Amino acid sequence: IRPFFLGWDCFEPFEAAFKLHFGWFKLTGTIEVHYMENIPEMFSSKKMFLYDRRKKDMNILDAKVHDSGSECTPGESKSQDKKERGNYIMYARATSGDKLNNNKFSVCSIKNISQVLEKKRGSCFVESGQPICGNGLVEPGEECDCGYSDQCKDECCYDANQPDNRKCKLKPNKVCSPSQGPCCTAECSYKSRNEKCREESECAHQGMCNGASAQCPTSDPKANFTACHGDTQVCLNGGCSGSICEKYGLEVCTCASVDGKDETELCHVCCMEK
């Protein structure tokens, strides 16, 4: 059966989604955010529809190794021979991932990482299971978490530099802390019922405070099969997760030209009869 073609050009939505998904990411413990500088250049030509996995892996590895004690490798070698081998993993900018040194650590990086592992080898890869006061996340055992003293602007919560019996706890006579959720005011009281705490999305209505909690209650989902993501998908149970094909009683399939040589076909959504 010839596929039913919906004609969606995937490039621009894919670019935006990719930047959102891979451009920024968080590491555990204290929140650390890394930006991949070279992402825009990957989309300079529409010939590149899929991100080179090697380059992504190198970026993520570089960021994680920062946590193991290795700083970025400075500068480039002046030697033409060494230049042709490429930069090491901890080079300050993203690398292509296809050169000899791109998947190797420099002698300097190995030394730095070894020093950290020698000191923490018994616990650095073991989950502590304990809350980390000061990371801005309210975890089990904490009443609130507004960060350290130089970060905390919260009048409701003791910061992480306070003694153990006070840090990450609510101050006396305070009902809540904004660190607990968007339904707590700066004056440490719950926001009134029906005050907006979450914007409407393609598949869910706006969230409204309930007057009894600092957290924003779950938003009511929009009707299933509501079109979303540029009319290429449909909402299912509040998430944009179904194919637009389902709305028409069809089944999603892979798009391909007759000769199989037109790569742009892969960036369309195609449906066929079940």
Convert the pLDDT of each residue in 98-126 to its tens digit: 777 777 878 888 887 777 777 766 766 67
Establish whether 66 is an annotated binding residue. yes
For residue 178, what pLDDT is reported? 96
Q: Please say which residue of 120, 149, 174 terminates a domain.
A: 120
For residue 12, what pLDDT is reported? 39
For residue 261, what pLDDT is reported? 66
Q: Please say which residue of 97, 120, 143 terminates a domain.
A: 120
For residue 22, what pLDDT is reported? 37
In a domain, 174, yes or no: no
Walk across the sheet containing 4-5 and list its strands.
4-5, 270-272, 251-253
For residue 54, what pLDDT is reported? 52
The secondary structure of the chain, three-state, reads: CCCEECCCCCHHHHHHHHHHHHCEEEECCCCEEEECCCHHHHCCCCCCCCCCHHHHHHHHHHHHHHCCCCCCECCCCCCHHHHHCCCCCCECCCCCCCCCCCCCCCHHHHHHHHHHHHHHCCCCCCCCCCCCCCCCCCCCCCCCCCCCCCCCCCCCECCCCCCCCCCCCECCCCCCCHHHCCCECCCCCECCCCCEEECCCCCECCEECCCCCCCCCCCCECCCCCEECCCCEEEECCEEEEEHHHHCCCEEECCCCCCCCCHHHHHCCEEECC
In a domain, 144, yes or no: no
131/33 Cα distance (integer angstroms): 20
pTM: 0.53
Give which of 162, 68, 157, 177 is closest to 117, Cα–Cα: 68
For residue 94, what pLDDT is reported? 61
In a domain, 70, yes or no: yes
For residue 183, what pLDDT is reported? 97
Q: Please say which residue of 53, 85, 120 terminates a domain.
A: 120
36/25 Cα distance (integer angstroms): 10
For residue 95, what pLDDT is reported? 60
In a domain, 172, yes or no: no
In a domain, 249, yes or no: yes
- Domain range spanning residue 43? 31-120
Number of domains in the chain: 2
In a domain, 132, yes or no: no
For residue 44, what pLDDT is reported? 41
In a domain, 16, yes or no: no
For residue 27, what pLDDT is reported? 36
6 near 252, Cβ under 8 Å? no
Q: Which residues of the chain have pLDDT under 70?
A: 1-83, 90-97, 120-121, 123-125, 257-258, 260-262
In a domain, 9, yes or no: no
